[in-house]
């Protein structure tokens, strides 16, 4: 919807202090002085980590650049000129040590980080193909899915991705068609149910609903159950393709674990990570402006009823602990999406989108989640979990006011 532009908001970043001289050359793997030391150099934030027996700079994280956007301002009468207004952006966190201090900058930092990655990678790493059962209508134009998945592919430009993402949509009448197509795909993992059985499960209830994604036969393969009518369980068009990008991120998770383990990826990571990473990346990517992101973020945080008696840090820390590995409690499974969203948003805010996948690479190589987390974020998970829980508690308390 087009409106008259009444003001121009220039978003500026608040500079953080450097722990070494700004002109000091830094190279990944070179020696540094103290663990946890942080320095910005040539557009990247480097952290001093322990590598073997020595201290060395990590490979660095891209520093988000200021995003400038024109925001329409409602006015009863036209104004003949643009007024320059500077919006003060909260200071971004740089690690878990200053996370709570810079709580207000978490969402801003995460969104800027993802948008910076999209700008850095102008070309996607995958292509999108859509297939529909002979009796299955389209839920929304295929261009919506194509646009969002390709945008997400750019946001994950540093991450290995499937060369193609195929989406198969079907209703109850077309289950046999879906199973026939699914049976042609071979998974590198030992699945509890075959891909064809997954297709049948999507329509095992009163109607078809939900989606399954596999990295199989070298591509990302998503099966989508379509209800009759298509909006029986809600208007999916309102997500603007965000739900399809969510599914594609699952395929990206799969490619990281393929050929390294036969266990399905969700078995090897916390349930809130397995679902929270696709949710966070898809929501951060689909929001064209910071204002859009804050609105969409708020909607998702309040989409599900709150099942606990309070939103205290202790309650949330217990949820994180209870959902560290499969099988996770079915009664709160839905929270792995919205609590997971803000958890991964927080990780992206302090380390960028790439670190969330680098952590998975370490798990695929045989490390535990706790060991992989400490290697990436320079803090034991046992120390980070209480901090994360306080951040999540504050975020959800504010959202439900």
Instruction: Among 196, 227, 259, give the residue marking a domain's end.
Output: 259
Same domain flag for 65 and 147 = no
Cβ proximity of 242 and 282 under 8 Å: yes
Question: DSSP H helical segments within 90-133, as ranges?
Answer: 106-120
Cα 260 to Cα 193, 268, 360, 392, distances in angstroms: 20, 12, 12, 33
Same domain flag for 67 and 102 = no
* Predicted confidence band of residue 48 (pLDDT cuts 50, 70, 90): confident
Res. 54: pLDDT tops 60? yes
Same domain flag for 197 and 302 = no
User: Alpha-carbon distance 20 to 314, whole Å?
Assistant: 37
* Predicted confidence band of residue 36 (pLDDT cuts 50, 70, 90): low
Cα 305 to Cα 42, 75, 320, distances in angstroms: 45, 37, 17
> What letter would DSSP give residue 202?
T
Res. 11: pLDDT tops 90? no
Residue, of 59 and 157, whose pLDDT is higher: 157
pLDDT value for 64: 58
Cβ proximity of 13 and 89 under 8 Å: yes
Cα 113 to Cα 27, 116, 233, 245, distances in angstroms: 21, 5, 33, 18
Tell me the pLDDT of the chain averaged across its residues: 87
Degrees (nearest 5) of the Cα angle 99, 20, 356? 40
Same domain flag for 323 and 200 = no
Same domain flag for 214 and 284 = no
Same domain flag for 325 and 194 = no
pLDDT value for 1: 43
Residue, of 224 and 35, whose pLDDT is higher: 224
Count of the separate structural domains present in the chain: 3
pLDDT tens-digit series, residues 354-379: 999 999 999 999 999 999 999 999 99
Instruction: Among 259, 282, 313, give the residue marking a domain's end.
Output: 259
Cβ proximity of 264 and 189 under 8 Å: yes
Domain limits at 13?
Answer: 1-89
Same domain flag for 230 and 138 = yes
pLDDT tens-digit series, residues 301-316: 998 889 999 999 999 9
Residues 256-271 as b or e (16 or more Cβ within 10 Å = b): bbbeebeebbbbbbbb
Instruction: Among 259, 282, 302, give the residue marking a domain's end.
Output: 259
* Predicted confidence band of residue 24 (pLDDT cuts 50, 70, 90): low
Tell me, letter by letter, the H, E, C secondary structure of 369-390: HHHHHHHHHCCCHHHHHHHHHH
């Amino acid at each position: 919807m087009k409106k008259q532009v009444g003001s121009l908001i220039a978003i500026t970043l608040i500079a953080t202090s450097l722990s070494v001289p700004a002109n000091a050359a830094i190279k990944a793997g070179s020696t540094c002085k103290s663990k946890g030391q942080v320095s910005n150099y040539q557009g990247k934030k480097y952290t001093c980590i322990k590598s073997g027996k020595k201290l060395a700079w990590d490979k660095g994280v891209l520093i988000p650049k200021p995003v400038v956007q024109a925001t329409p301002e409602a006015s009863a009468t036209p104004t003949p000129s643009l007024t320059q207004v500077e919006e003060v952006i909260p200071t971004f966190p740089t690690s878990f040590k200053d996370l709570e201090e810079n709580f207000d900058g978490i969402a801003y930092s995460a969104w800027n980080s993802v948008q910076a990655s999209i700008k850095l990678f102008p070309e996607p790493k995958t292509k999108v193909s859509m297939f529909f059962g002979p009796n299955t209508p389209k839920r929304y134009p295929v261009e919506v899915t194509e646009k969002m998945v390709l945008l997400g592919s750019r946001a994950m430009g540093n991450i290995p991705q499937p060369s193609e993402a195929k989406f198969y949509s079907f209703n109850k009448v077309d289950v046999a068609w879906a199973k026939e197509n699914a049976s042609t795909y071979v998974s590198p993992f030992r699945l509890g149910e075959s891909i064809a059985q997954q297709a049948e499960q999507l329509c095992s209830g009163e109607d078809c609903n939900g989606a399954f994604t596999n990295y199989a036969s070298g591509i990302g393969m998503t099966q989508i159950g379509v209800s009759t009518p298509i909006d029986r369980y809600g208007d999916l068009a309102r997500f603007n393709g965000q739900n399809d990008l969510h599914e594609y991120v699952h395929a990206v998770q799969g490619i990281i674990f393929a050929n390294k383990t036969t266990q399905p990826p969700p078995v090897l990571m916390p349930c809130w990570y397995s679902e929270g990473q696709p949710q966070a990346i898809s929501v951060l990517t689909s929001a064209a402006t910071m204002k859009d992101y804050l609105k969409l973020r708020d909607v998702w945080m309040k989409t599900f009823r709150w099942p606990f008696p309070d939103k205290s840090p202790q309650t949330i820390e217990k949820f994180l602990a209870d959902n560290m590995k499969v099988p996770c409690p079915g009664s709160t499974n839905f929270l792995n999406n919205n609590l997971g969203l803000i958890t991964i948003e927080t990780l992206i805010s302090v380390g960028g989108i790439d670190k969330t996948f680098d952590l998975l690479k370490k798990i695929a190589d045989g490390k535990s989640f706790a060991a992989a987390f400490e290697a990436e974020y320079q803090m034991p998970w046992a120390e980070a979990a209480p901090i994360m829980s306080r951040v999540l508690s504050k975020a959800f308390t504010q959202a439900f006011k």
